[in-house]
Amino acid sequence: MTTAATKPNLFDMNRADCEALVMSLGVKAFHGRNLFKWIHKHGVIDFDAMTDLSRSLRETLRETVDMRLPRIIESHPSADGTIKWVMALHDGQRIETVFIPEGKRSTICVSSQVGCALECAFCATARQGFNRNLAVSEIIGQVWHAARQLGRPPTNVVMMGMGEPLANFEAVVKAMEIMQDDLAYMLARQRVTLSTSGIVPNIYRLREVSEVALAVSLHAPNNALRDQLVPINRKYPLEELLPACKAYVGRDKRRKVTWEYVMLDGINDSLAHAKQLIRLLEGIPSKLNLIPFNPFDGSHFGVSPPERIDSFRQRLTGAGIFAMTRKTRGDEIAAACGQLVGRVDDRTRRTTVA
C-alpha cells in the first residue's frame, strides 16, 4: 500500500512528468497537461475540482499521488509594500520568501536551500549554516503560494533567497522550467533571474539547458578581497568566473550579466576599487547593481555612506558601465538582500563553533 509519505508529489513534476504519469495510468497525455494546468495556472489542489478529468482518473490520482507544499506560517508586511513569508517544510525546517512590489512589477525572491554552505561574510543566511537542498516542490511551492496570495502570478522571479541555486542544480532548473511553462506561470526567460556566487562548472551547465537571466554576486574587483568576502572565489577565482559569465550571455547583444556588488564601508567602496572593477568587466556586457549593505545581528560591516556610493556609481557610468544603486526594500522586517535567515538545523556545525 502506498502511504502519503511515499506517494509521488505532483509539485515535483513538470508538464512532461504529468503526461508520463497519466499515460502510465492508461489515459492520454493531454489529461496530464490538464492536470498540470489545474495545479499551477489555476492553483487548484482538490482533485474533485478538476472537472475536465474523468471521475475514475481523479480517484486513481487520489490513491496514487499526493500534493505536498510548504506551509506559510508567518507573514510580515513592510511599510513599503514588501512582504516576507516564512514557510515551514515537512521536516520542521523554515525558509523565507519575499514579495517586492514596484508599480506594475511584482517580484518574488525565492529560496533554493535551507541555509547556505558558501559562507559569504556579509550575509545573514550564511551565519545560519546549511541543512539541505530544497526539492522542486519546495521551490515552485513558494511561487505557487505567492500567486495565491497576490491573486495573480508574479511578473518576475529571482532565485536570490536563501541558498546557492547552482549548488542545487537539477531541482532549481526544473522549478524554473515550470515557472516559464505556458500552462503554469508563463514567465518569459528574461523574467526569471538566477543569482550565483560563482560555481563556474554549473554556469556552463546552465547555459546548455536554460536561458534565464544570470546575476553574479561579485562584491569585489580582485581575487584577494573576493577571497575574504566570497570564499567560493578560492575555488573558482575571477579568471575562471568571468569567462564563464561572458560565455553564458554569448553573442546576444540583448543579454547582459547582472553583477551584484554590496557596498561595504571602507572595504570595497573606494574609487580605486571602482577603477579595478572597470578594468575587470571590460568586454563583458554588464549591468551593475550597487547594494547598500543591510546590517544584521552579529555583522561587523557598515554600510557605505550615500555620497561614496554615488561617487562610485558615477565613476562606473562615466566609463560606460550601466550601474544603479538598488533601493533597500523590507529592511525593517529583515527581508532585504542578505538578511534572510529562516530556521536551519545546521548540519555544518558552523553555528556551534565559536
Query: Known catalytic residues?
Result: 96, 337
Could you tell me the three cell numbers for 280? 575587470
**DSSP run (H or E) holding 83:** strand 83-88
Q: Which residue has the cell 509521488?
A: 8
Q: Who's near 84: CB < 8 A, 6+ residues apart? A: 75, 76, 78, 96, 97, 98, 99, 330, 333, 334, 335, 340
Which residue stretches of the chain are H helix? 15-24, 29-40, 55-64, 124-127, 136-150, 169-180, 200-209, 223-229, 238-249, 271-280, 306-318
Q: How far does the chain reach from its first CA to its final CA, in angstroms?
A: 48
Length, in residues, of the chain:
354
Three-state SS at 259 = strand
Pairing assessment for the beta strands 192-196 and 130-133 based on DSSP bridges: unpaired
Q: How far is CA 5 from CA 25, 93, 94, 340, in A?
A: 20, 17, 19, 29
Distance CA 34, CA 58 (A): 12
